[in-house]
């Protein structure tokens, strides 16, 4: 296992390349058109893999059609028509989070939301008028260039070749417009239409029948789309489309080849960010903090914290990190706005990589954005943090609340620390059943205040972050967050949960019984690769749940 | 005063065809009245049709706090509001205060909050998937039928530019996106509407609108002529094509998208004409809302709830005065709710407050009633339909998915009705029911105002409409 390579300030692409080929099974021949490779499923790519020892009576459920999220729409517009950020994401309909992730949304578009996409499309399209020569380079016949543009860009935008009728319709629209006005306006109209085109905005997964009843295999085009939105949060590039067309995405090995290529592209950072901020529920809007307690906290500081979290995760994956990196890596990305919070000498506005004090701070949980999102307005917030650890790191449900309702907190004296208040609460046996479950994983972070700054003292007393973790595979005592996270890094529950979270993001729905075997296989591959994070992305992309779908939801 | 010859719009008007001169609103809408028209508006007023009936819903969440502070004292037409509702005291003549309705949800399971909130206006039980942890299941909780505001909107929306205006203040807890396990307005089963938090977007949509961008600068060639129609045409064709290629569950979403396209088309000028329909600006003025500059943040309910809610109500009533829509909803807060109402000095989150700080929950309910429902009643007395206050032609109500939020009790469920509903509701009363009345009966009564043949709303058995509304 190659340990994470520290590469201050920038990602190491070569390290990633090394890791992904290393994490893939040894001696793998990656590539080759339909050449059976070394992955399960390569031999008979048209039916799901029979995993030894795994049995489920359930079959795959059908994956609901997804609409592009606001961020995906923005990235896709940039990739297809240039000019990143032209959309104005804040003007698009808000993304609804379902099952933890925005791309799981099943919400329908309301009329006012259709209008929002309409205005976004118009804004982006009008921006192309003055740079049409760059967007559609053309030395000869302008109409011919325009028609080429329609087919070439249309294929990537819709993740399939345009139907003849569609191609003809776009061509007619271009011609009529160009005739009435000019070439640039003709292109503008095409751009504006494509951005509102349902085949662009929605990602249906229908698949084709397989030899196995109730199991359908994704078409090559659907797979290309699923892959690009999973890894890039955007539409495919020409190479991915060509690879689909050549039938290379039919086998797990073929998918792996593209996955590894795409993970070395800058666009992978987008997905790493989208996934990590949603996994940790670190939203775009700053949580409210009491200015009397945190006078320097504002939206800009929050933005730096949020980006810092995303970069932590990206750095871990890009550099072949593992669970140890995720859970305990003693580093952070900080700039001058967050320097004090992290206690590092950051001087510029740009986020840079710093070592953090390994006795105080390490891993994703202790990133300022996470601690602040899970922090109260004033004090640290153990219950919220504890529930978060249970839900999002361990994928565990809390026990049901007592039937008579939740008893109120005892009147808190001003001098009580949060720990003391909770201890009083846990003394009530009705409360203890739940609170012994989720208080300790939260109290472990007692050193971190509402904006994620580390403190030795709270209300004049030395902070006590000790506790006992129960109901996991790594139960035991700890005295602080570092010890606690060092326990979690060895938990197979946490490793499986990380895999589940990426699964939900990749497939766009919650896991169901039919995914059991595919999920178990992924978790096993993760363990076998010594928990290589880039390897985990590849495993999920080549898994049966990614390649197959069901007929209808049971 | 010469009504038809003194402005340059006549030709355009004639070209468009029939205008219903009996209706000032329809006239303004179709004509696009500018200032030049204002001199003859009074003439049209004289023959104006009766003002239409509107529905306004304001929701509160997580319960009312302390029961002892909730109920009025006295009874019948002589009563005094409890301290939580003291802001409604000046408008007692306009309300019917009910004690109480029976809601569906009790404290029977974890994560009941979004189940209760999905039930609130739909009257049907909610569903949620089996997978994931409670955290994910709450997000994915959905109602199983249409909500009353949307039922009405589908009827009244046939006569107005927009079916409804659904807004929320703090209805989206801060997060990477919107967690909608807390939506109250549904267009159908599993089809929630995300309440719009951004007052500027709502304002633009109703009062500046996409339509205006279609009007070319004078003298310039309109390069956009006919674009919207040809784009929407291509989009519709593609939607139809896709419909034959997706599963049944996805069809619903494509259908809803198509509906959105149709509603935009409805507002476009006839093919080949390049002038859009400007929004009426005379007689029914655009509202004044806070400036975009400064520290004001339309999405930060924690700090700016009063200003946001006032603006939302002002926008809603202005849109109703212009008959741009007849259905409006403001969701104040959200069930569960992970933000603290710092604007009133409270530092715990809504959910914490509802479970652990009952006195603060009363304070929060008092304040949000004052800024929301109280402010609405004040404005409904000020805004006029001709000579009458708009109050006369409004059916409004405030409700909450819980009474006792700490215990997750949907019964008793608080409902305060307001407005004379075009003469059908007799206000100024405190009604105490003998026996139980389900909240779905109240939803049915509201529905019947707009849909007389309605006999049941939601999935529970109905005892029929609430006769006490009529006195």
What digits encode the pLDDT tens for the residues A138-158?
Answer: 999 999 999 999 999 999 999
- C-beta atoms of B342 and A377 within 8 A: yes
In the predicted model, what is the mean pLDDT of residues B443-456? Answer: 96
What is the structure's pLDDT at B360? Answer: 96
Residue B127 has pLDDT above 90, yes or no: no
pLDDT band at B38 (very low <50, low <70, confident <90, very high): very low
Half-sphere CA count of B260, side-chain side, radius 13 A? 22
What is the structure's pLDDT at B311? Answer: 96
In the predicted model, what is the mean pLDDT of residues B205-225? Answer: 59
Which pair of structure tokens corresponds to residue A496?
């499986």
User: What is the average pLDDT value for chain B, to the nearest integer?
Assistant: 81
User: What is the average pLDDT value for chain A, to the nearest integer?
Assistant: 86
Q: Do the bridges between strand B54-60 and strand A96-97 make them parallel or antiparallel, or are there none, so unpaired? A: unpaired
A491 versus B33: the higher-pLDDT residue is A491
pLDDT band at A500 (very low <50, low <70, confident <90, very high): very high
In the predicted model, what is the mean pLDDT of residues A505-532? Answer: 91
Closest alpha carbon to B252 in B163, B142, B168: B142
Smallest Cβ–Cβ distance between A281 and the set B107, B175, B356 belongs to B175
Residue A4 has pLDDT above 50, yes or no: no
Instruction: Mutate one of A150, A167, A183, A287 to test the B interface: name it (highest B CB count within 10 A).
Output: A287
- C-beta atoms of B178 and A282 within 8 A: no
Residue pair A269/A258 in contact (Cβ under 8 Å)? The answer is no
Residue pair B62/B382 in contact (Cβ under 8 Å)? The answer is no
Residue A333 has pLDDT above 50, yes or no: yes
What is the structure's pLDDT at A90? Answer: 62
Half-sphere CA count of B398, side-chain side, radius 13 A? 27
pLDDT band at B162 (very low <50, low <70, confident <90, very high): confident
Q: Which residue has the tokens 């593609």?
A: B238
pLDDT band at B418 (very low <50, low <70, confident <90, very high): very high
Alpha-carbon span A544 to B6, nearest angstrom: 73
B11 versus B388: the higher-pLDDT residue is B388
Dihedral sign for Cα A349, A352, A355, A356, please.
positive
Q: Which residues contact A432 (CB under 8 A, 6 or more apart)?
A: A426
What is the structure's pLDDT at A69? Answer: 87
What is the structure's pLDDT at A496? Answer: 96
Instruction: Mutate one of B231, B296, B339, B351 to test the A interface: name it (highest A CB count within 10 A).
Output: B231
- Per-residue pLDDT tens over the stretch B363-377: 999 999 999 999 999
Name the DSSP class of A410. Answer: P
- C-beta atoms of A198 and B234 within 8 A: no
- C-beta atoms of B110 and A398 within 8 A: yes
What is the structure's pLDDT at A249? Answer: 97
- Give the gap in angstroms from C-alpha B19 to the nearest C-alpha of chain A: 26
- Per-residue pLDDT tens over the stretch B89-99: 999 999 999 99
What is the structure's pLDDT at A513? Answer: 86
Alpha-carbon span A395 to B186, nearest angstrom: 30
Closest alpha carbon to B23 in B55, B54, B53, B50: B50
Residue pair B25/B19 in contact (Cβ under 8 Å)? The answer is no
Whether A428 and chain B come into contact, CB under 8 Å, resolves to no
**B118 Cα distance to chain centroid:** 15
| Lowest-confidence pick of A37-46, A93-102, A161-170, A252-261 | A93-102
Which pair of structure tokens corresponds to residue A233?
């949060």
Percent of chain A with pLDDT over 90: 61
What is the structure's pLDDT at A34? Answer: 44
- Per-residue pLDDT tens over the stretch B247-294: 777 888 888 888 888 877 776 654 444 343 334 434 578 888 998 877
DSSP letter for each residue of B190-247: T-BPPPB--HHHHHIIIIITGGGGGSPPTTS--TTTTHHHHHHHHHHHHHHHHHTTS-
What is the structure's pLDDT at B9? Answer: 34
Residue B32 has pLDDT above 70, yes or no: no
In the predicted model, what is the mean pLDDT of residues A402-418? Answer: 60
Whether A93 and chain B come into contact, CB under 8 Å, resolves to yes
What residue spans of A264-352 are helical by DSSP H?
A: 268-279, 299-318, 323-328, 339-342
Smallest Cβ–Cβ distance between A96 and the set B110, B178, B347 belongs to B178
B401 versus B189: the higher-pLDDT residue is B401
Name the DSSP class of B386. Answer: T
- C-beta atoms of A114 and B260 within 8 A: yes
pLDDT band at A161 (very low <50, low <70, confident <90, very high): very high
Whether A106 and chain B come into contact, CB under 8 Å, resolves to yes
Whether A293 and chain B come into contact, CB under 8 Å, resolves to no
What is the structure's pLDDT at A409? Answer: 58
Instruction: Mutate one of A89, A105, A106 to test the B interface: name it (highest B CB count within 10 A).
Output: A106
Residue A43 has pLDDT above 90, yes or no: no
Whether A424 and chain B come into contact, CB under 8 Å, resolves to no
Give the three-state DSSP class for A333: strand
Chain A residues with CB inside 8 Å of B220's CB? none
DSSP letter for each residue of B88-119: GGGGGGGEEEEE-BB-S--S-STTHHHHHHHH
What is the structure's pLDDT at B285? Answer: 80
pLDDT band at B142 (very low <50, low <70, confident <90, very high): confident
Residue pair B333/B171 in contact (Cβ under 8 Å)? The answer is yes
Residue A133, class by beta-carbon neighbours within 10 Å (0-12 exposed, 13-18 middle, 19+ buried)?
A: exposed
- Per-residue pLDDT tens over the stretch B288-317: 899 887 788 888 888 899 999 999 999 999
Please give the residue of chain A at the shortest CA–CA distance from B212: A119
**Measuring CA to CA, how many Å separate A329 from each of A132, A357, B280?**
47, 11, 60
Q: Do the bridges between strand A96-97 and strand B178-179 make them parallel or antiparallel, or are there none, so unpaired? A: parallel
pLDDT band at A415 (very low <50, low <70, confident <90, very high): low
pLDDT band at A546 (very low <50, low <70, confident <90, very high): very high
Closest alpha carbon to B214 in B169, B175, B264: B264
What is the structure's pLDDT at B33? Answer: 33
- C-beta atoms of A115 and B205 within 8 A: yes
Among A103-112, A195-204, A373-382, B268-277, name the most confident range: A195-204
Q: What are phi and psi of B384, to 5 degrees?
A: -110, 145
Alpha-carbon span A304 to A306, nearest angstrom: 5
In the predicted model, what is the mean pLDDT of residues A475-483? Answer: 97
Alpha-carbon span A507 to A226, nearest angstrom: 8
Calculate the CA dihedral of residues B253, B254, B256, B262 and round it to 10 degrees.
170
Percent of chain B with pLDDT over 70: 80
Half-sphere CA count of B167, side-chain side, radius 13 A? 31
Residues in chain B: 471
Chain A residues with CB inside 8 Å of B358's CB? 408
Q: What are phi and psi of A209, to 5 degrees?
A: -60, 150
Q: Which residue has the tokens 């979403």?
A: B253
**Whole-structure pTM value:** 0.80
- C-beta atoms of A400 and B109 within 8 A: yes
């Amino acid at each position: 296992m190659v340990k994470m390579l520290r590469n201050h300030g920038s990602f190491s692409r070569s390290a990633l390349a090394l890791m992904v080929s290393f994490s893939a099974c040894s001696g793998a021949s990656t590539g080759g058109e339909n050449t059976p490779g070394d992955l399960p499923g390569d031999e008979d790519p048209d039916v799901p893999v029979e995993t030894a020892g795994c049995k489920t009576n359930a079959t795959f459920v059908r994956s609901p059609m997804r609409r592009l999220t606001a961020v995906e729409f923005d990235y896709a517009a940039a990739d297809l028509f240039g000019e990143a950020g032209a959309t104005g994401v804040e003007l698009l309909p808000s993304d609804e989070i379902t099952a933890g992730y925005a791309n799981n949304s099943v919400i329908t578009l309301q009329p006012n939301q259709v209008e929002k996409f309409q205005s976004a499309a118009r804004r982006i399209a009008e921006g192309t008028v003055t740079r049409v020569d760059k967007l559609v380079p053309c030395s000869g016949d302008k109409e011919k260039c325009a028609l080429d543009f329609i087919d070439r860009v249309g294929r990537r935008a819709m993740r399939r070749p345009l139907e003849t009728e569609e191609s003809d319709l776009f061509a007619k629209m271009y011609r009529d417009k160009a005739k009435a006005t000019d070439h640039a306006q003709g292109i503008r109209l095409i751009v504006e239409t494509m951005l509102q085109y349902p085949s662009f905005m929605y990602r249906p997964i229908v698949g084709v029948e397989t030899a196995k009843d109730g199991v359908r295999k994704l078409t090559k085009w659907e797979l290309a789309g699923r892959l690009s939105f999973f890894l890039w949060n955007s539409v495919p590039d020409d190479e991915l489309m060509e690879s689909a067309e050549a039938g290379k995405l039919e086998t797990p090995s073929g998918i792996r080849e593209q996955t590894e290529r795409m993970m070395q592209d800058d666009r992978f950072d987008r997905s790493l960010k989208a996934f990590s901020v949603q996994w940790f529920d670190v939203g775009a809007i700053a949580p409210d903090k009491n200015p009397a307690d945190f006078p320097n906290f504002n939206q800009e500081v929050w933005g730096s914290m949020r980006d810092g979290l995303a970069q932590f995760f990206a750095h871990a994956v890009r550099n072949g990190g593992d669970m140890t990196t995720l859970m305990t890596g003693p580093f952070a990305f900080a700039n001058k706005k967050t320097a004090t919070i992290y206690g590092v000498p950051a001087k510029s506005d740009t986020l840079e990589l710093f070592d953090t004090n390994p006795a105080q701070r390490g891993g994703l949980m202790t990133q300022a954005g996470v601690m602040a999102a899970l922090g109260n307005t004033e004090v640290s917030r153990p219950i919220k943090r504890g529930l978060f650890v249970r839900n999002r790191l361990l994928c565990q449900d809390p026990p049901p609340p007592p039937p008579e309702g939740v008893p109120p907190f005892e009147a808190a004296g001003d001098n009580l620390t949060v720990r003391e208040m909770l201890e009083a609460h846990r003394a009530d046996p009705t409360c203890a059943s739940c609170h012994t479950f989720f208080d300790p994983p939260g109290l472990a972070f007692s050193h971190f205040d509402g904006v994620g700054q580390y403190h030795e003292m709270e209300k004049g007393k030395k902070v006590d972050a000790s506790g006992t973790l129960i109901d996991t595979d790594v139960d035991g005592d700890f005295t602080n967050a570092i010890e606690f996270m060092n326990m979690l890094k060895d938990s197979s529950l946490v490793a499986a949960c990380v895999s589940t979270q990426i699964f939900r993001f990749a497939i766009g729905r919650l896991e169901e019984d039919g995914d059991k075997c595919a999920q178990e296989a992924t978790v096993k591959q993760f363990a076998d690769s010594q928990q290589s994070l880039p390897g985990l992305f590849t495993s999920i992309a080549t898994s049966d749940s990614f390649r197959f779908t069901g007929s209808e939801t049971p | 005063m010469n009504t038809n010859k003194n402005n340059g719009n006549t030709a355009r008007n004639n070209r468009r065809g029939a205008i219903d001169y009996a209706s000032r609103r329809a006239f303004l809408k179709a004509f696009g009245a500018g200032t030049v028209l204002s001199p003859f508006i009074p003439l049209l007023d004289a023959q104006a049709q009766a003002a239409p009936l509107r529905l306004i819903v304001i929701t509160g969440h997580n319960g009312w706090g302390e029961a002892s502070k909730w109920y009025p004292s006295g009874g019948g037409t002589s009563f005094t509001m409890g301290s939580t509702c003291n802001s409604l005291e000046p408008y007692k003549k306009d309300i019917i205060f009910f004690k109480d309705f029976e809601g569906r949800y009790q404290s029977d399971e974890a994560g009941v909050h979004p189940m209760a909130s999905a039930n609130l206006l739909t009257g049907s039980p909610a569903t949620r998937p089996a997978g994931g942890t409670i955290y994910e299941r709450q997000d994915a909780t959905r109602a199983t039928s249409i909500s009353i505001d949307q039922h009405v909107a589908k009827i009244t929306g046939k006569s107005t530019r927009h079916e409804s205006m659904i807004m929320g203040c703090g209805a989206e807890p801060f997060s990477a996106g919107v967690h909608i396990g807390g939506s109250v307005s549904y267009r159908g089963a599993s089809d929630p509407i995300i309440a719009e938090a951004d007052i500027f977007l709502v304002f633009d949509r109703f009062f500046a609108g996409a339509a205006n961008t279609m009007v070319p600068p004078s003298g310039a060639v309109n390069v956009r002529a006919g674009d919207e129609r040809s784009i929407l045409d291509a989009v519709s064709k593609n939607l139809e094509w896709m419909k034959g290629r997706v599963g049944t569950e996805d069809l619903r979403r494509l259908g809803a998208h198509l509906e959105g396209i149709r509603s935009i088309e409805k507002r476009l000028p006839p093919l080949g004409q390049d002038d859009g329909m400007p929004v009426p600006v005379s007689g029914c003025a655009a509202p004044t809302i806070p400036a975009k500059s400064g520290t004001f943040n339309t999405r930060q309910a924690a700090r700016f709830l009063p200003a946001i809610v006032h603006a939302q109500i002002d926008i809603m009533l202005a849109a109703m005065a212009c008959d741009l829509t007849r259905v409006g909803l403001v969701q104040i807060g959200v069930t569960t709710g992970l933000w603290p109402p710092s604007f009133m000095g409270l530092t715990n989150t809504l959910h914490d407050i509802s479970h652990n700080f009952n006195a603060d929950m009363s304070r929060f309910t008092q304040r949000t009633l004052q800024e929301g429902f109280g402010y609405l009643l004040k404005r409904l007395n000020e805004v006029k339909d001709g000579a009458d206050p708009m109050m006369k032609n409004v059916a409004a109500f405030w409700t909450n998915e819980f009474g006792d939020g700490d215990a997750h009790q949907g019964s008793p469920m608080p409902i305060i009705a307001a407005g004379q509903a075009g003469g059908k509701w007799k206000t100024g009363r405190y009604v105490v029911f003998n026996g139980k009345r389900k909240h779905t009966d109240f939803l049915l009564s509201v529905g019947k105002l707009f849909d007389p043949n309605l006999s049941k709303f939601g999935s529970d058995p109905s005892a029929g409409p609430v006769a006490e509304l009529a006195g």
